[in-house]
Amino acid sequence: MNVPSDLQYTEEHEWVRKDGDDVVTIGITAFAAEQLGAVVYVELPAEGDTFAKGDSVGQVESTKSVSDIYAPLSGTVVEINAELEDNPELINAGPYEGGWLFKLRAEAAGEFAELMGPDEYADHTADG
């Protein structure tokens, strides 16, 4: 399974990449995309929306199920991946590249350190 070493992870199978001092890019992991199957629709938050860590921010719908997307960090959405509106299958094709979901301006720097590292996430998915 692909678990990039430059990302942090959540128990809910989101990945987080630091893009600067306080902006992060968020997506769902290859493990989650594989479990979901073919993604057919993505509901993303709107730019300017503010969330607390753990809030439901959208949904990913596949041929198998509908899954919530959770905010891995508290912050404000600064950009969404509008490509997913017409091409939700980008999540399956490249969950760590073109399939990213949104960018967030993080409000609490300490929350990033609470995320799982790649080894911990690999262990987490091995158990489930």
Beta bridge partners of 59: 43, 68
Nearest C-alpha neighbor of 59 from the set 103, 23, 28, 97: 28
The domain ranges of the chain are 8-114
Could you report the per-residue pLDDT of 5-25, keeping only the tens digit for each? 999 999 999 999 999 889 999
Could you report the per-residue pLDDT of 84-121, keeping only the tens digit for each? 999 999 999 999 999 999 999 999 878 999 999 999 99
Could you report the per-residue pLDDT of 31-68, keeping only the tens digit for each? 999 999 999 999 999 999 999 999 999 999 999 999 99
Distances (CA, A) of 62 to 11, 36, 87: 20, 6, 13
pTM above 0.85, yes or no: yes
Q: How far is residue 52's CA from residue 63's CA, in Å, rounded to a whole number?
A: 29
Angle of CA points 11, 40, 125, to nearest 5°: 20
8-114: which CATH number, 1.10.1660.10, 2.40.50.100, 3.90.1530.30, 3.40.50.2300?
2.40.50.100
